[in-house]
Amino acid sequence: MHKKLFIPGPVDVREEILKAFSTPMIGHRTRDISALQESISDKLRRLFYTGNTILLSSSSGTGLMEGAIRSFTARRAVVFSVGAFGNRWAQLAEANGVPVDKAEVEWGTPTLPETVDKYLATGKYDVFAVTHNETSTGVMNDLGAIAEVRKKYPEVIWLVDAVSSMGGVKIEVDKLGIDVCITSTQKCLGLPPGMSCASVTDRAIEYGKQVEQRGFYFDFLKLYKFVKEKPYQYPTTPSIPHMFALDKQLDYILNTEGQERRYERHEKMAEMVRSWAVDSGFALFAADGYRSNTVTTIRNTKEISVADLNKRLGEKGYMISNGYKNLKEKTFRIAHMADRQPEELQALLDLIREMIK
Ligand SMILES: *Cc1c(COP(=O)(O)O)cnc(C)c1O
């Protein structure tokens, strides 16, 4: 039996999109692929609210995170971590020999603009990385507040991990001044895993020229060059099935559902889970004012067995997430992202309440 996924990626994929994955192949050095790529880029620019260049990678989002921190750090990067995925930025830098400092907060709390200010004021950094929506803790950072502070340091390259929020929450890349914004297909975009997307500014690309060791596969400058010079192609063979499906799904997001309605639906579902959690005697893990609209991390104050609950949910055709690593059993997570509908979420919440009675 297929379990309805209420985990923070991969998510359930609409039938029409699954079908698009069986479109017959086309060559990756053809006009047809360039046209497809151009169509996807135009649509992603609308989704990201940007005029910047769009890059696709046939990897999950971590690949582009690795490529970004390596391609643009000539001196030293600072990573503002609010959880597991923030720490990943630092691990990626270290694994690539990129000098990095990590500013980590207590889990459940956000990155504050004054902290960003304090680090950038040292003048030590040419790159800083932020997690928009931390999937381990359910914290959603305030990018607007960080963007305000960043105006004092316009030369620093700003990288944003928007893997679990882009497509579910409005992120106005150009207005915020984000240099590199990254997302994956298997979260709010509602596609299977295996592809990721980024927007990148020309000035970041220009800056990256002085970085000598940018690797090969995730070298942002190489990806950019192929998109620009050989219009809309990639250095290596892309996941063409993902491209067919992404193009179709972007039509659905932008035109059928509409961006604003999509954001409202995510917000509504987040509110449903938050009030359900509190009414059921649990508490919310993320600090008030910084709670994610795409995934809710619930403090297991009732000390139920989350593993057992998930097993029983599985028998009914549902799946939620236990807490992330050390938060296992101390928290559990309910994702409300992509094309999940409020009625489906309500059915899950009713079922859990019945089971823990
Ligand atoms: C899922 C996730 C990642 C990792 O993305 P992959 O596509 O699995 O590589 C990174 N950051 C956040 C916030 C995520 O939720």
- Reference 313, options 269, 260, 352; nearest CA is 352
Domain map (residue ranges) of the chain: 4-10+259-355, 15-255
CA–centroid distance, 15 to ligand 1, in Å, is: 24
Tell me, yes or no, if the pTM score tops 0.95.
yes
Confidence of residue 232 (pLDDT cuts 50, 70, 90): confident
| Backbone torsions φ then ψ of 206, nearest 5 degrees | -60, -45
Per-residue pLDDT tens digits for 148-183: 999 999 999 999 999 999 999 999 999 999 999 999
164 lines ligand 1 (CB under 6 A): yes
- Reference 132, options 120, 118, 146; nearest CA is 146
Task: State the average pLDDT over residues 26-31.
Answer: 94
89 lines ligand 1 (CB under 6 A): no
CA–centroid distance, 262 to ligand 1, in Å, is: 21
Per-residue pLDDT tens digits for 317-356: 999 999 999 999 999 999 999 999 999 999 999 999 999 9
297 lines ligand 1 (CB under 6 A): no
161 lines ligand 1 (CB under 6 A): yes
CATH, range 15-255: 3.40.640.10
CA–centroid distance, 164 to ligand 1, in Å, is: 7
Q: CATH for 4-10+259-355, among 3.30.230.10, 3.30.70.1140, 3.40.1190.20, 3.90.1150.10?
A: 3.90.1150.10
* 160, 187, 325: residue to mutate for ligand 1 pocket, most atoms within 8 A of CB: 187
- Alpha helices, H only, the chain: 15-20, 31-48, 61-72, 84-95, 113-120, 143-150, 173-176, 202-208, 220-229, 240-251, 259-279, 306-315, 342-355
CA–centroid distance, 179 to ligand 1, in Å, is: 19
Confidence of residue 51 (pLDDT cuts 50, 70, 90): very high
d(CA 295, CA 12) in angstroms, rounded, equals 15
